[in-house]
Chains A and B, each alone.
Chain A
Amino acid sequence: MKKILLIEDDLALSLLYEEELKNDGYSVVVAHDADSALELVKNEPFDLIVTDIRMPGKDGIELIANVMGLRKDIPIIINTAYQSYKDDFMTWAADAYIIKSSSLDELKAKIKELIGN
């Protein structure tokens, strides 16, 4: 089973994503901030990271930079409510940039494209 690390500070949204992705057959680990996510990356193997940008403490961009220092090979999807950063996301070494929507189809399709299921 493919294992996804989901970083989302909003509790309702993290629950929604966790349930929906588990429903699609993935194993999902949730972190609510960048520091605890980094601890997880150090200790567990993940097939994919889905992260928000804006959160308390380190933001998603810093998180990505730190993950790159630990494990270069994990694909990363930015899943955010910000539309304005979309043009820059390639420079952050993320593999995809998805704007949060109540339909998770785009997110799910991207995950499937990157790691299959």
Chain B
Amino acid sequence: MIERYSLQPSNFNPETPKELVILSIIAQSFFQPFSLEDNLLVILTALTAGSGIGFNRAMLFLNDGMKLKATTWLGPRSPEEAEAIWTMLSSPGIGYAEIVAYNRDLVTRMVKDIQPRLKSLVYDLESRTLPLPAAAAVNKEIVLVTEAQNEPVVDSNFIKFIQVDSFLCLPLVAQDEILGEIVVDKGITHAPIEARDIELARLCALLAGNYIYTTNLYKKVVEMEKMAALGEMAAFVSHQLRNPIVAIGGFTKQILSSPCQPDRCRRNLNIIQEQVKHLEDIIYKLSHFLKITIRELQPVDVRPILLNLVERPDIKLKAARKTISLKINENLPLIQCDPIYFEEAVVNLLDNALDVTPEGGKVYLRARPYNDKYVLIIIKDSGPGLDEKSRDKLFSPFYTTKENGTGLGLLFVKRIIDTCNGKLEVQSKPGRGTMFKLYFKIQERGPS
């Protein structure tokens, strides 16, 4: 027998232990595309949901450089408010999304009166005499404080703020890094904090620490990728500019160095002129490429654009002694793009296809609906095709097999398709030609 269960927990029966319900709700957040703040809010909720672990309020501190700063305080301010929250959270069918929405709203409402005061709770982690609650984070230990008034190691400003005598400090630590702290109390029910509460709270703190850690790591990786891409770009650009510059310099030197034969001089000047043109081309395309920003995607009717495009003189000239086989479905749905960029993307590919197709050969241009969601544009050549290696290099900047190519055309096409939320596929085999498939999202019809 085979039984299957969803990875994501949904509804529980009433006998499910509360701890399990809470952990399940937290676990659900792993599947959600919510922000770190939202995920932390869920943990704070798990800690404070009346029917849950049993704390009433939770304050979140985050490590901002070398300072521990209070950022959010979640929980009811009065028994009445507590009652309302707990009723809501224990209603059947409540899930992660509802909790996030509810708490976002709650925090926003609390922001006005609490936030300015919350800002005053800042602790310098470098300080030698760090009071509680911050000391718990620095020492990386859970601290239970009771009768806080009698403890000189507790910050009196903090006691004044939360107005309770007992609270639990939970450091948020991952990979030995201090990331923040959560302080929970039972300020509404005034029940004692018990060993079982601490066990569950510890688990929540570990999860919260991990959330913060992985989010920070992700941000760092994205930043590093950006820098690496920039460095690569700079290396490619300088490489690409150097070749024509070296040629210009070298041939100029030839002209100047010895009594120059008129023929040789003229030839050199022609080469120099070509190289300057090539440089201009690179610079033009590069700036053009960097400029692609489509402010707003708009509905585009691709059929007239494609029909028009094969009549363009530059395309016709290239297509002399070759055939463009055209099949554009009638009544194609509108796509989301920008008409000018769409045309440029297709022209770029068609241009390439014509370049590699031998005389007498065929280039195929097709457009048809795909899958109810996309319009598929196909451009196929009858050229030599690509081996796996060349196919991998196809979209690297400045990769070109053409004598005067800039190696930016395909990158440009890809960028346009990405900007239009489309997809691009390349199929190619040596001897079989190359086929580009462009999938553009269909413009969804608004209410008419």
Residue of A12, A57, A100, A101 with most partner-chain B CB within 10 A: A12
A10–B403 alpha-carbon span in the complex (Å): 7
Q: Contacts of B245 on A, CB cut-off 8 Å?
A: 102
In the complex with contacts A13-B243, A16-B251, A102-B246, A81-B403 CB distance below 8 A: no
Partner of A15, one of B242, B271, B400, B401: B271
In the complex, residue of chain A having the shortest beta-carbon distance to the beta carbon of B240: A81
Main secondary structure of the interface of B (DSSP, over half): helix
Partner of A100, one of B242, B252, B390, B403: B242
In the complex, residue of chain B having the shortest beta-carbon distance to the beta carbon of A57: B390
Q: How many residues of A contact B (CB 8 A)?
A: 21
Q: Contact: B254 with A100, CB < 8 Å? A: no
Q: Contacts of B251 on A, CB cut-off 8 Å?
A: 12, 16
Q: Contacts of B253 on A, CB cut-off 8 Å?
A: 102-103
Q: Contact: A82 with B239, CB < 8 Å? A: yes
For A79-93 the 0/1 string (1 means CB < 8 A from B) is 011111000000000
Q: Is A104 an interface residue (CB 8 A)?
A: yes
**In angstroms, how far is the closest chain A Cβ from the Cβ of B401?**
4
In the complex with contacts A11-B403, A19-B254, A81-B271 CB distance below 8 A: no
In the complex, residue of chain B having the shortest beta-carbon distance to the beta carbon of A20: B250
In the complex, residue of chain A having the shortest beta-carbon distance to the beta carbon of B248: A102
Q: Is A54 an interface residue (CB 8 A)?
A: yes
Residue of B250, B253, B390 with most partner-chain A CB within 10 A: B250
Q: Is A56 an interface residue (CB 8 A)?
A: yes
Apart from A13-B246, A102-B252, what 7 extra A-B contacts exist at CB < 8 Å? A11-B403, A16-B251, A20-B250, A81-B246, A82-B239, A100-B246, A102-B249
Q: Is B274 an interface residue (CB 8 A)?
A: yes
A101–B238 alpha-carbon span in the complex (Å): 12
Q: Is B299 an interface residue (CB 8 A)?
A: no
A59–B365 alpha-carbon span in the complex (Å): 33
**In angstroms, how far is the closest chain A Cβ from the Cβ of B254?**
7
A44–B100 alpha-carbon span in the complex (Å): 74
In the complex with contacts A12-B271, A19-B254, A81-B242 CB distance below 8 A: yes
In the complex, residue of chain A having the shortest beta-carbon distance to the beta carbon of B387: A57
In the complex with contacts A15-B271, A56-B400, A81-B250 CB distance below 8 A: no
Q: Is B317 an interface residue (CB 8 A)?
A: no
A80–B242 alpha-carbon span in the complex (Å): 9
**In angstroms, how far is the closest chain B Cβ from the Cβ of A28?**
15
A56–B391 alpha-carbon span in the complex (Å): 12
In the complex with contacts A12-B274, A12-B275, A56-B401, A103-B239 CB distance below 8 A: no
A93–B271 alpha-carbon span in the complex (Å): 34
Q: Contacts of B239 on A, CB cut-off 8 Å?
A: 54, 80-82
A selection of 29 A-B contacts at a CB cut-off of 8 Å is: A12-B244, A12-B251, A12-B271, A12-B274, A13-B243, A13-B246, A15-B271, A16-B247, A16-B250, A16-B251, A19-B254, A20-B250, A20-B254, A54-B239, A56-B399, A56-B400, A57-B390, A81-B238, A81-B239, A81-B242, A81-B243, A82-B239, A84-B235, A100-B246, A101-B249, A102-B252, A102-B253, A103-B249, A104-B250
Residue of B245, B247, B249, B254 with most partner-chain A CB within 10 A: B247
Q: Which residues of B contact A (CB under 8 A)?
A: 235, 238-240, 242-254, 271, 274-275, 390, 399-401, 403
Main secondary structure of the interface of A (DSSP, over half): loop
**In angstroms, how far is the closest chain A Cβ from the Cβ of B232?**
9
Residue of B238, B246, B251 with most partner-chain A CB within 10 A: B246
A11–B312 alpha-carbon span in the complex (Å): 30
For A1-41 the 0/1 string (1 means CB < 8 A from B) is 00000000011110110011000000000000000000000
A102–B246 alpha-carbon span in the complex (Å): 4
Q: Contacts of B271 on A, CB cut-off 8 Å?
A: 12, 15
In the complex with contacts A81-B242, A103-B253, A12-B247 CB distance below 8 A: yes
Q: Contacts of A82 on B, CB cut-off 8 Å?
A: 235, 239
Q: Contacts of B249 on A, CB cut-off 8 Å?
A: 101-103
In the complex, residue of chain B having the shortest beta-carbon distance to the beta carbon of A102: B249
A11–B246 alpha-carbon span in the complex (Å): 12
In the complex, residue of chain B having the shortest beta-carbon distance to the beta carbon of A10: B243
A16–B254 alpha-carbon span in the complex (Å): 9
In the complex with contacts A57-B390, A82-B235, A103-B253, A10-B247 CB distance below 8 A: yes
A101–B399 alpha-carbon span in the complex (Å): 21
A19–B258 alpha-carbon span in the complex (Å): 14
Q: Contacts of A10 on B, CB cut-off 8 Å?
A: 243, 247
Q: Contacts of A104 on B, CB cut-off 8 Å?
A: 250
Q: Contacts of A12 on B, CB cut-off 8 Å?
A: 244, 247, 251, 271, 274-275
A101–B369 alpha-carbon span in the complex (Å): 52
